[in-house]
C-alpha cells in the first residue's frame, strides 16, 4: 500500500511537469550556426524584423539570419548587443558557392585605421 502511494505521487509530479512544459517555446541558441559544407537549398529572403529602441544608448542591433538546422532553413532572430570599441559588426550572410550555398557567420571585425 505504501509503495502504491509513492507511485501515484511520482506519476502525478511527472504529469504536472509534462503538462507545464507544453507551452514552452524552444529557440535556437544564439551563436549557434551551421558549420559545414555547401547547402543546395537557397535561403529564403530575410525576415523584416522590428526591433524598436535600443535597451541602452549606443547598443547595436545584430540582425537575424537564416541558419541551417535539421535539413532546413530556420530563422534566428536578431538581438541588441553592446558595441565593441575598435570593431564593427559584419552580418551573417549566405554566399553562393560551388552550385550551392554556404553560411558565412556574422562576426565583429576590427576597424581599419
Least confident of 8-17, 55-64, 74-83, 98-107: 8-17
- Classified as helix, coil or strand, 27 is coil
Q: What is the pLDDT of residue 28?
A: 42
Q: What is the pLDDT of residue 81?
A: 97
- Name the pTM for this structure: 0.65
Q: What is the pLDDT of residue 48?
A: 96
Could you give the CA distance from residue 113 to residue 78 in angstroms, rounded to a whole number? 28
- Give the containing element (helix H, strand E) for 95: strand 93-97
Amino acid at each position: 500500500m505504501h509503495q502504491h502511494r509513492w507511485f501515484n505521487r511520482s506519476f502525478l509530479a511527472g504529469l504536472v511537469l509534462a503538462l507545464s512544459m507544453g507551452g514552452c517555446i524552444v529557440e535556437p541558441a544564439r551563436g549557434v550556426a551551421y558549420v559545414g559544407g555547401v547547402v543546395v537549398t537557397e535561403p529564403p529572403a530575410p525576415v523584416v524584423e522590428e526591433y524598436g529602441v535600443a535597451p541602452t544608448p549606443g547598443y547595436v542591433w545584430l540582425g537575424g539570419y537564416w541558419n541551417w538546422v535539421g535539413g532546413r532553413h530556420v530563422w534566428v532572430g536578431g538581438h541588441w548587443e553592446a558595441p565593441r570599441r575598435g570593431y564593427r559588426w559584419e552580418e551573417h550572410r549566405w554566399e553562393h558557392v560551388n552550385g550551392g550555398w554556404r553560411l558565412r557567420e556574422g562576426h565583429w571585425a576590427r576597424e581599419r585605421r
